[in-house]
């Protein structure tokens, strides 16, 4: 139940963020940096950057993910269809953020194995890393629902599936996103 409340709260925040970004985008002109655009274009992606106040960075159908939206102001990244870590499958959704003091990276990701409510359901991974010491502060691995018990037999093969990452994998994923965010912020 706690996981669903967290998940739905995250979805509400993400939707609110999209609404704010889209409203802001309509009111301000968008200017694409030629150098950044060429680099992103080489990856076969769509790139938009709001250069007036540098509020967001967006890549659609990129090499990293199907959707990657980075909010410069709160240093958070929404990801859908993460492609670079096979542990999360091909259908997934999550958020990565770095604390205001730049010391803590938090990742929250769900691998879609089916749907009970119309939203993504599946195994859930959460961790926090201290970016100064590369120490894992917290980690949680929650299973997918028991689809058989919920009457969703088409997803029964994923009953209680869990993604358990080793400490080495957690650090690899965390440091990957740290470097990705650093790269985005430097553009």
Contact (CB, 8 A) for 7 and 123: no
Q: What is the mean pLDDT of residues 27-44?
A: 40
Cα 27 to chain centroid, rounded: 26
Alpha carbons 6 and 4: distance in angstroms, whole number = 5
Question: If pLDDT is split at 50, 70 and 90, which confidence band does 15 have?
Answer: low
Task: Pull the structure tokens for residue 59.
Answer: 């890549």
Alpha carbons 25 and 49: distance in angstroms, whole number = 10
pLDDT tens-digit readout, 47-60? 344 434 578 899 99
Q: Which residues, at least 6 apart from 72, have a Cβ–Cβ distance to it below 8 Å?
A: 54, 55, 56, 57, 185
pLDDT at 160 over 50: yes
Higher pLDDT, 94 or 119: 94
Instruction: Name the phi and psi angles at 127, rounded to 5.
Output: -155, 160
Alpha helices by DSSP H, listed for the chain, are: 2-27, 34-42, 167-186
Nearest partner of 70 among 3, 18, 144, judged by Cα: 18
Residue 16 pLDDT: 54
Contact (CB, 8 A) for 52 and 28: yes
Global pTM reads: 0.68
pLDDT at 67 over 50: yes
Per DSSP, the residues of 108-122 read EEEE-SB-SSSS-BS
Residue 18 pLDDT: 54
User: What is the share, in percent, of the chain residues with pLDDT greater than 90?
Assistant: 48
**pLDDT, the chain, mean:** 78
Higher pLDDT, 107 or 153: 107
Q: What is the mean pLDDT of residues 144-154?
A: 87
Helix (H, G, I), strand (E, B) or coil at 159: coil
Question: If pLDDT is split at 50, 70 and 90, which confidence band does 10 have?
Answer: low
Q: What is the largest CA-CA distance in the chain?
A: 54
Full strand arrangement of the beta sheet holding 65-71: 46-49, 56-60, 65-71, 76-82, 92-98, 104-111, 124-130, 135-142
Q: Where are the domains of the chain?
A: 2-186
């Amino acid at each position: 139940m706690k996981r669903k409340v967290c998940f739905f709260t995250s979805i509400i925040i993400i939707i609110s963020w999209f609404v704010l970004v889209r409203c802001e985008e309509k009111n301000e002109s968008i200017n694409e940096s030629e150098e950044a655009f060429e680099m992103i274009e080489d990856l076969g992606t769509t790139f938009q950057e709001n250069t007036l106040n540098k509020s967001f960075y967006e890549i659609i159908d990129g090499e990293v993910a199907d959707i990657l939206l980075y909010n410069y102001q709160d240093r958070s990244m929404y990801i859908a269809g993460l492609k670079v870590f096979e542990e999360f499958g091909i259908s997934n959704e999550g958020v990565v953020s770095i604390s205001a003091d730049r010391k803590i990276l938090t990742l929250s990701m769900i691998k879609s194995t089916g749907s009970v409510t119309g939203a993504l359901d599946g195994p859930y991974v959460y961790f926090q890393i201290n970016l100064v010491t590369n120490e894992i502060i917290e980690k949680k691995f929650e299973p997918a629902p028991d689809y058989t018990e919920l009457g969703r037999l088409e997803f029964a093969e994923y009953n209680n599936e869990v993604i358990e990452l080793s400490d080495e994998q957690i650090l690899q994923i965390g440091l990957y996103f740290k470097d990705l965010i650093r790269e985005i912020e430097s553009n």
